[in-house]
């Protein structure tokens, strides 16, 4: 499945199938969350949160691609990511785009 942030694909004609999305809410375990809290005192990257967000983006993307495949799409254009804090140590990651089928 081709994913792109652009509004079109050079040299390709396609029909628009519609909006596709994927999302997940991820947390780190409580012990790691305490460790991350201590990290704020010292500064620097909180690697467990970075890893959590990477996993969340991957899972959300896979869910979006699965939705597009079920529609018969060949690609997804205008892909965008969004994230928000749901609670302490938990974040939602959403990805969305437009599913298209090449002519």
Mean pLDDT of 8-26: 96
- Edge-to-edge, what's the strand order for the sheet holding 90-102? 2-3, 75-87, 90-102, 14-27
Count of structural domains, the chain: 1
Average pLDDT for residues 50-71, to the nearest whole number? 96
Q: Mean pLDDT of all residues in the chain?
A: 89
Assign residue 63 the CATH number of its domain.
3.30.110.70
**pLDDT recorded at residue 36:** 55
What is the average per-residue pLDDT within 42-47? 74
pLDDT band at 35 (very low <50, low <70, confident <90, very high): low
pLDDT of residue 30: 55
In the predicted model, what is the mean pLDDT of residues 70-86? 96
Which of residues 55 and 90 earns the better pLDDT score?
Answer: 55
- In this prediction, residue 78 has a pLDDT band, given cuts at 50, 70 and 90, of very high
Phi, psi of 48 (to 5 degrees): -65, -35
With residues binned 3-state (H G I as helix, E B as strand, rest as coil), the percentages for the chain, rounded to 5, are: 35, 40, 25
Which residues span the domain enclosing 96? 2-102
CA atoms of 40 and 19, how far apart (whole Å): 38
């Amino acid at each position: 499945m081709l994913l792109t942030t652009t509004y079109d694909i050079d040299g390709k004609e396609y029909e628009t199938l519609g909006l596709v999305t994927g999302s997940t809410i991820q947390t780190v375990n409580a012990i790691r969350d305490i460790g991350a809290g201590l990290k704020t005192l010292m500064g620097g990257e909180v690697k467990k949160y970075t890893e959590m967000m990477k996993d969340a983006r991957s899972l959300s993307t896979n869910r979006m691609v699965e939705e597009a495949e079920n529609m018969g799409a060949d690609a997804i254009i205008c892909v965008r990511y969004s994230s928000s804090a749901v609670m302490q140590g938990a974040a939602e990651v959403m990805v969305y785009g437009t599913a298209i089928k090449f002519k």
